[in-house]
Chains A and B, each alone.
Chain A
């Protein structure tokens, strides 16, 4: 048995394209789902007048994974594993959004050390996500060496993640009520090393790209997105800030103790592709500032809540305490029960507002988990951005939106 690719008759998208496409005056072109510049399996239906893009219709769903449905069949602890694989450039941030929702639902406190560790790792992940973006962005625009440089630094970050969690990408290090285990003693030195190295590397990227005429010509005044349009499409994150809206959840609605750290929210007003690049380069530096402050005042103490109803006891206790054994057994077989209520909690992911709507039903499994993923809203604005530009510019615009298909399709 082999399923066939569904051919969509013209009539089905008649309302999306202009009249000229129907009488053959303009051309309908299919870009993707297998295309080197779509950053994943995205299909774009382009309406072209010569080289000029008149209309761009994203067709998503090629990576639909059914994560939200799968999570309903798992206990709260086990469902977290799914969140890693949503936005695969930002697994740690996804974990954070998820565990924050669980903690809000069952009203669980997180000790300060765990909060600080979460902040450090989330910011490191933000840097790593932007590194992949800038690297592939350079690749798309013909700056191959950027890709090699960015991935070189990304390996340093992945080594840190591996150090704390044992995994390079899908860490699942944050758990409801804290983190999996305390960071090893080498952690602080490893992060400090990175903080020392990285500012020079950012300057290196800037020397390569920021004033490079080949790069600038492809970016300035390309893909303009106005403030109003960005807001009306629900665009968030660096894309929104590049359009001149100062909105960052870390500042606007602080979580995990972000209010104690001193950092700026980079904002640009141009709203073009170049502004989106500048904002992200600046976010590197701000993330480093946050990491440094969090590391300086990293408190000692426990790394998870001592509420045994939600957090499994340490291994050492299981051998000597009957109660600990019962808790361990209960938590890993049926999980904990959450009240019949629904909560929404959001974090600032590298792409924008990543929200989790979670509804419990009194049992050990969620009734519904819905993700408000930033890429989904950001990609919807692409038709606004590409109108009137050339197909070659579409590549730069698509890269600048920083989409992750796992984030869009879930």
Chain B
């Protein structure tokens, strides 16, 4: 199944470099193993057997930011954690993406108070917001697929500007 069947015996496929690179990026995206709060448990559930995120190329989570290209901010970001989060983001190599998982990371959620950043976009740029408190694993997977659409549409020039 896949590309070799479509090609038959031709052995050649033409594709733009942009598409090829973007396609390979979406199929080998390594998220950073970075759980903050409740959503991290659902993120673990999304990795576990029932939902199995490795179907989407997320075979392994990297604990080191230097080996990962996707940061899933799973949970509330406190004022004390904010700078740490930013440092982790800065350590990730380009290109990198951020998913704000859950209401707390997206907008502060139920915690409208002194201790919590009202959305992780105060600290790092966010590509996809996933709603829910906590979002179901399906919702997270949908968020990731939405991110893939974004990655597939990426232009080299824009990103390196």
Contacts and interface: CB of A to CB of B under 8 A. Distances in A.
Interface of A: 2-6, 33-36, 40-41, 61-67, 69-70, 81-82, 85, 88-89, 132, 135-136, 147-149, 151-152, 154-155, 158, 168-170, 405-406, 409
Given A5-B87, A168-B136, A65 B78 contact: yes
Given A65-B115, A152-B49, A406 B37 contact: yes
A133 to B, nearest CB: 11
B86 interface: yes
15 contacts: A5-B83, A33-B81, A34-B34, A34-B88, A36-B33, A41-B84, A63-B76, A65-B111, A66-B115, A66-B116, A69-B114, A89-B41, A155-B48, A169-B134, A170-B134
A195 B78 CA distance: 39
Interface string B39-52: 01110110011100
Given A62-B84, A170-B134, A155 B78 contact: no
A82 B41 contact: no
A148 B53 CA distance: 12
Q: In the A-B complex, list the 5 residue pairs whose CB atoms are closest, starting with the nearest.
A: A151-B48, A66-B115, A88-B38, A36-B63, A66-B113
B137 to A, nearest CB: 9
Contact of A2 (B49, B86, B133): B86
Contact of A82 (B82, B88, B110, B115): B110
Contacts of B33: 36
Contacts of B63: 34-36
A151 B50 contact: yes
A215 B84 CA distance: 33
Contacts of A81: 110
Contacts of A70: 110-113
B80 interface: yes
Interface residues of B, number: 38
Nearest to B34: A34
Given A35-B63, A61-B78, 6 more contacts: A6-B83, A66-B116, A70-B113, A89-B41, A148-B49, A168-B42
Given A89-B41, A169-B41, A65 B116 contact: yes
A271 B113 CA distance: 40
B111 A88 contact: no
Contacts of A82: 110-111
B152 to A, nearest CB: 29
Question: Counting chain B CB atoms within 10 Å of each CB, which of A34, A40, A63, A154 scores highest?
Answer: A34
B80 A64 contact: yes
B159 to A, nearest CB: 23
Nearest to A158: B45
A195 to B, nearest CB: 20
Contacts of B113: 65-66, 69-70
B128 interface: no
A82 B76 CA distance: 13
A65 B76 contact: yes
B79 interface: yes
Given A65-B116, A170-B134, A406 B38 contact: yes
B36 interface: yes
Nearest to B33: A36
B35 A62 contact: no
